C-alpha cells in the first residue's frame, strides 16, 4: 500500500538545484537583510544559499519569525514547538506576517503567494510551508481549527465518552484541549471522595485525538475517505503517567504520526497541564480503513422528482432516465 | 452654541520638546537653528535648518530611529510611521498629559482628531525606489500608510483609539490653521466635545530641499540671522519640522473636568487670494478677508486685538503682502496691535506652522508674555506702518489673532481670548 504519510515523503524528496551561485556581494546583501536576526540565523541562511540543503530552513524560518516577535514573547520560541500559534501565542498579526514573508522571500530568493499565507497559523505550518516551497512540493493541508460542534459531528465517539473540547489538526499532527469538568461519570468512583482523572482515560483522550487526525488531518488517496466506523485501538507502548490530574485541570493534548502501514497507523502523544508533563505515550496504534468518497448528487431539471443516486457507480443522468 | 477652549498643548519643535523650554525660548528669543549636516554639500546652496533635537529619524528603517527618554515605542507602532508621525505621537502624548485626560476621555465617540502634514517625501522616495529596484511585491506593506499625506491620521487614530471625527487638512502652510478652525467648528456645532489638532512635518532634507529650487529658501550661512521676517535684508525662509498638538474642549467639558484652559478659541475665518499658485496676492487680498471674517465670527472690533502672531515667513514677497493686509484691516495699525513672527526663532514649519504658532499664542496668553519678532536689524521699508514688536514683552495679550497663508492663496485667521 502506498505510503501516504507526508512526514516520510518530505524526507525522501531531493533538494531543488540551486538557481544562482552565491557570490560575495550576495553574502553582504544577506548580512544586511538579516542584521537584526541572531548570528545563527545568518549562518543557517548562508549555508542554505550555498548548498540548497533544506535542513537549514527551520533555523532560518525560526530566526526570521523571532526577529519580528516582541522581545517579551521571544522566549516562547525557544522550544520552537510546532503547534505554537502565530497570532494567539506570538502576537503576530497579518501585517507582521507580510513582513516575515518579505524577508523570507529576500533571504531564500523565492516568491510566496498571498493565498498561501492565509493558512499559516502555527510555527509548524510556516516551517512545513517553506520546506515544501523549496522542494517544489505542493503545500501541506493547512492547520484547521475544530470547535466541539465540528468534532462531535465527525467523530464516532460521543459524550459521555468524548474527551476533546477543541482541536487543531494539520497533516503533520493534531493538538487539542480538554478541561476536566468534575462532572465526568467515572470520577464518582475514581477515587471515592477524591476525584482523579484515570490514566487510562487520558490515554484514551490521546487515542481520540489520533482518531480525529485520521478523519480530518490525513490526506487520503483521491476518491477515498477514512471511514469513522472502522477505527479501533490495537495497542500502545511506553505509556507513563507523571502527574495526577484533577477537576479544573486543562489537558493540552498533542499527537504526531510516527509511521503508517495499512491498516495500522502509529502515533506518539503527550499530554501537558500548563508546562508540566502529565502523560507520555511513545506509541499508540490504531487500525483504520478507507471507503469510497461520497459524490454529491447532480441536479437534473428535466426530470423533477426522479430519484437521484448518491453512489458514484450510477451516473446521475442514467439514474434519472431509468427511474422515470 | 457651545464655546471652545484650549486645554492642553504638546510640543516637539526646534525651540523645545516641552512647553517649559518652549516658553523660555520665546521669552528670551532663543532660536532653534543650526548648520544642518545633510546640507553640507557643495551643490546644496542652503545650509541652515530649524532642527528637532533629541531624535534621530534620518533613516527609512524605523528600527534605526531614536527618541528621548520618557517615551516608549513598540516596533509594531513605529513601522507605519513617518518621522513626523513619531514627533506627533510624542506631542499628542504630552498634550493628553497636559490636559489631564484619561484613556476614556481620549477614546470615545465625542472626541476627534484633525491633522495636517505634507506627508513624508523621504519615505515616499524610498518605497517607490524599492518597487523600481526589487519589484512590486517587495514594497513594504507599510509603504503607503507611512508616506502619504494622511499618515498622521491613519497612525494616531489607530494608536490612540480615536472614535470621533477624524480628518486631514491639506492647504500647504495654512493646513493646521484650517485643522484648528474646523476642529473649533466640530465643537461649536455640537458634533464633538473634544478635538485634538495635530500639525507635523518631517523637516528633513527631502522635505525642505525642493523649496530651494523655488528660490524661496534663505541662503544665509549664519544661523543667527538667516530667518528674519520683516527685516530689510531677509532672503527667504528657513525650514523646520516637528509636531504640535492642541487639545480643544467644549465649555461643558472644561467645567465637568474642572481644568483651567490656556485660552478660549473665539472664532475663525478663511478666504482665498485667487491669484497665483505660489505667490501671495500683492495686497494680501485673501488674508484681509480672512481676518475680517475672523473678527466678525468672534464678534470683536479690530481695536480689541492686542497681538497678531503673523504668518510672515521671511520671504521677500510674502511678508509684504501680510503687512499690507494688516494695514487694511486695522485702522490703528501703526500702534495697535503688536505684530511679530515667531518663525524668526523656529523657522517655517509648513503644515506645522498654524498649529505650532497657535500653541505659542495660547502659551503666551496663559503665561503672561508677548513674543517679539527676532533677528531684525532694520525693518524693511515696505513693512513699515505696523507695530512690529522686536523684543518679548512680559505682558499677557488678551486677544490674539493668528494668521496662516498657503500655496494657491489659502488664508486662515484664528482668534484666541484670555479667560
Q: What is the mean pLDDT of residues B375-400?
A: 97
Q: Which chain A residue has the Cα nearest residue B142?
A: A95
Give which of B75, B131, B142, B158 to mutate to test A binding, by max A Cβ within 10 Å.
Answer: B75
Question: What's the CATH fold of domain A144-292?
Answer: Thiol Ester Dehydrase; Chain A (3.10.129)
Total domains in chain B come to 1
Q: Is there a contact between A86 and A68 (Cβ–Cβ < 8 Å)? A: no
Choosing from B263, B311, B375, B383, which is the catalytic residue?
B311
Chain A nearest C-alpha distance from B41 (Å): 27
Distance, in Å, from the CA atom of B128 to the CA atom of B57, rounded to the nearest integer, reads: 19
Q: What is the mean pLDDT of residues B261-271?
A: 98
Chain A nearest C-alpha distance from B207 (Å): 27
Model confidence pLDDT, tens digit, residues B285-340: 999 999 999 999 999 999 999 999 999 999 999 999 999 999 999 999 999 999 99
* CATH level 2 (architecture), domain A6-135: Orthogonal Bundle (1.10)
Give which of A65, A93, A95, A109 to mutate to test B binding, by max B Cβ within 10 Å.
Answer: A95
Contacts of B80 (CB under 8 A, 6+ apart): B142, B145, B146, B151, B154, B155
B76 to A111: CB separation less than 8 angstroms, yes or no: no
Task: Choose between B217 and A320: higher pLDDT.
Answer: B217
Model confidence pLDDT, tens digit, residues A146-161: 999 999 999 999 999 9
A93 touches chain B (CB under 8 A): yes
Say yes or no to pLDDT of A313 above 60: no
B61 touches chain A (CB under 8 A): no
CATH number, residue B140: 3.40.47.10
Q: How confident is the model at residue A97 (pLDDT cuts 50, 70, 90)?
A: confident
Q: How confident is the model at residue A323 (pLDDT cuts 50, 70, 90)?
A: very low
A95 to B75: CB separation less than 8 angstroms, yes or no: no
Q: How confident is the model at residue A320 (pLDDT cuts 50, 70, 90)?
A: very low
Model confidence pLDDT, tens digit, residues A255-279: 999 998 889 999 999 999 998 999 9
* % chain A with pLDDT above 90: 50
Distance, in Å, from the CA atom of B2 to the CA atom of A303, rounded to the nearest integer, reads: 73
Say yes or no to pLDDT of A229 above 50: yes
In the block, which residue shows the cell 524599492?
Answer: B130
Distance, in Å, from the CA atom of A201 to the CA atom of A161, rounded to the nearest integer, reads: 9
Q: Is there a contact between A96 and A68 (Cβ–Cβ < 8 Å)? A: yes
* Identity of the residue in A70, A93, A102 whose CB atom sits nearest the CB atom of B138: A102
Residues of A in contact with B63 (CB under 8 A): 36
Question: Domain of B81?
Answer: 4-417
Q: How confident is the model at residue A253 (pLDDT cuts 50, 70, 90)?
A: very high
* % chain B with pLDDT above 90: 96
Backbone angles phi, psi at A158, to 5 degrees: -130, 165
For the question of an ipTM over 0.85, the answer is no
In this prediction, residue A312 carries a pLDDT of: 43
Interface of A with B in 182-201 (CB under 8 A): none
Choosing from B263, B348, B375, B383, which is the catalytic residue?
B348
Rounded (5°) CA angle B126-B132-B133: 85
In this prediction, residue A18 carries a pLDDT of: 57
Domain ranges of chain A: 6-135, 144-292, 298-324
Strands across the sheet with B111-116, in order? B166-168, B111-116, B194-201, B242-250, B4-12, B263-272, B410-417, B399-406, B307-309, B338-340, B387-388
A118 touches chain B (CB under 8 A): no
Q: What is the mean pLDDT of residues B234-243?
A: 97
Q: What is the mean pLDDT of residues B375-399?
A: 97
In the block, which residue shows the cell 516582541?
Answer: A70
B140 to A102: CB separation less than 8 angstroms, yes or no: yes
Amino acid at each position: 500500500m502506498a505510503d501516504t504519510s507526508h512526514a516520510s515523503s518530505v524526507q525522501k524528496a531531493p533538494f531543488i538545484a540551486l538557481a544562482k551561485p552565491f557570490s560575495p556581494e550576495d553574502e553582504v546583501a544577506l548580512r544586511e537583510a538579516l542584521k537584526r536576526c541572531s548570528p545563527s540565523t545568518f549562518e543557517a541562511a548562508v549555508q542554505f544559499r550555498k548548498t540548497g540543503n533544506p535542513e537549514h530552513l527551520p533555523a532560518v524560518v525560526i530566526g526570521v519569525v523571532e526577529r519580528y516577535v516582541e522581545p517579551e514573547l521571544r522566549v516562547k520560541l525557544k522550544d520552537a514547538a510546532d503547534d505554537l500559534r502565530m497570532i494567539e501565542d506570538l502576537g503576530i498579526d497579518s501585517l507582521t506576517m507580510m513582513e516575515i514573508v518579505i524577508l523570507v522571500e529576500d533571504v531564500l530568493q523565492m516568491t510566496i503567494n498571498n493565498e498561501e499565507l492565509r493558512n499559516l497559523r502555527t510555527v509548524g505550518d510556516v516551517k512545513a510551508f517553506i520546506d515544501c516551497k523549496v522542494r517544489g512540493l505542493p503545500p501541506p493541508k493547512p492547520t484547521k481549527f475544530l470547535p466541539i460542534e465540528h468534532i462531535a459531528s465527525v467523530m464516532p465517539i460521543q459524550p459521555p465518552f468524548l474527551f476533546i473540547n477543541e482541536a487543531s489538526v494539520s497533516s503533520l499532527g493534531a493538538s487539542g484541549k480538554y478541561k476536566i469538568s468534575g462532572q465526568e461519570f467515572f470520577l464518582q468512583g475514581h477515587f471515592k471522595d477524591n476525584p482523579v482523572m484515570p490514566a487510562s482515560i487520558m490515554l484514551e483522550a490521546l487515542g481520540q485525538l489520533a482518531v480525529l487526525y485520521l478523519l480530518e488531518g490525513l490526506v487520503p488517496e483521491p476518491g477515498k475517505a477514512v471511514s469513522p466506523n472502522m477505527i479501533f485501538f490495537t495497542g500502545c507502548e511506553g505509556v507513563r503517567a507523571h502527574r495526577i490530574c484533577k477537576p479544573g485541570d486543562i489537558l493540552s493534548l498533542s499527537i504526531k504520526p510516527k509511521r503508517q502501514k495499512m491498516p495500522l497507523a502509529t502515533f506518539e502523544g503527550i499530554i501537558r497541564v500548563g508546562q508540566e508533563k502529565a502523560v507520555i505515550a511513545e506509541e499508540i496504534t490504531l487500525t483504520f480503513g478507507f471507503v469510497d468518497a461520497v459524490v454529491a448528487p447532480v441536479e437534473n431539471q428535466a426530470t423533477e422528482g426522479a430519484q437521484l443516486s448518491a453512489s458514484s457507480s450510477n451516473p446521475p443522468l442514467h439514474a434519472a432516465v431509468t427511474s422515470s | 452654541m457651545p464655546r471652545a477652549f484650549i486645554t492642553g498643548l504638546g510640543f516637539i519643535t526646534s525651540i523645545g520638546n516641552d512647553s517649559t523650554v518652549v516658553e523660555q525660548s520665546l521669552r528670551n528669543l532663543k532660536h532653534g537653528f543650526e548648520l544642518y549636516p545633510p546640507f553640507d554639500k557643495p551643490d546644496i546652496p542652503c545650509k541652515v535648518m530649524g532642527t528637532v533635537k533629541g531624535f534621530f529619524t534620518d533613516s527609512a528603517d524605523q528600527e534605526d530611529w531614536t527618541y528621548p527618554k520618557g517615551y516608549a515605542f513598540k516596533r509594531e507602532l513605529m513601522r507605519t510611521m513617518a518621522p513626523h508621525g513619531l514627533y506627533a505621537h510624542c506631542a499628542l502624548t504630552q498634550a493628553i498629559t497636559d490636559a489631564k485626560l484619561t484613556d476614556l476621555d481620549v477614546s470615545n465617540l465625542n472626541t476627534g482628531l484633525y491633522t495636517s502634514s505634507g506627508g513624508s517625501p523621504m519615505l515616499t522616495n524610498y518605497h517607490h525606489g524599492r518597487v523600481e529596484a526589487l519589484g512590486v511585491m517587495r514594497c513594504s506593506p507599510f509603504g503607503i500608510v507611512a508616506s502619504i499625506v494622511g499618515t498622521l491620521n491613519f497612525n494616531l487614530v489607530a494608536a490612540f483609539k480615536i472614535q470621533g471625527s477624524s480628518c486631514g487638512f491639506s492647504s500647504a502652510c495654512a493646513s493646521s490653521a484650517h485643522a484648528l478652525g474646523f476642529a473649533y467648528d466640530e465643537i461649536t456645532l455640537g458634533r464633538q466635545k473634544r478635538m485634538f489638532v495635530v500639525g507635523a512635518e518631517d523637516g528633513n532634507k527631502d522635505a525642505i530641499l525642493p523649496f530651494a529650487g523655488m528660490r524661496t529658501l534663505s541662503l544665509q550661512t549664519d544661523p543667527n540671522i538667516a530667518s528674519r521676517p520683516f527685516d530689510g535684508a531677509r532672503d527667504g525662509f528657513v525650514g523646520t519640522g516637528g509636531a504640535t498638538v492642541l487639545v480643544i474642549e467644549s465649555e461643558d467639558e472644561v467645567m465637568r473636568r474642572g481644568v483651567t484652559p490656556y485660552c478660549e478659541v473665539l472664532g475663525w475665518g478663511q478666504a482665498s487670494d485667487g491669484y497665483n499658485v505660489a505667490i501671495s496676492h500683492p495686497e494680501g487680498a485673501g488674508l484681509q478677508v480672512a481676518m475680517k471674517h475672523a473678527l466678525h465670527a468672534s464678534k470683536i472690533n479690530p481695536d480689541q486685538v492686542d497681538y497678531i502672531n503673523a504668518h510672515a515667513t521671511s520671504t521677500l514677497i510674502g511678508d509684504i503682502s501680510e503687512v499690507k493686509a494688516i494695514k487694511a484691516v486695522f485702522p490703528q495699525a501703526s500702534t495697535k496691535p503688536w505684530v511679530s513672527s515667531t518663525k524668526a526663532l523656529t523657522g517655517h514649519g509648513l503644515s506645522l506652522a498654524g498649529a505650532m504658532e497657535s500653541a505659542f499664542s495660547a502659551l503666551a496668553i496663559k503665561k503672561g508674555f508677548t513674543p517679539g519678532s527676532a533677528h531684525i536689524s532694520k525693518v524693511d521699508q515696505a513693512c513699515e506702518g505696523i507695530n512690529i514688536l522686536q523684543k518679548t514683552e512680559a505682558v499677557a495679550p488678551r486677544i490674539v489673532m493668528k494668521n496662516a497663508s498657503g500655496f494657491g492663496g489659502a488664508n486662515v485667521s484664528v482668534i484666541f481670548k484670555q479667560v
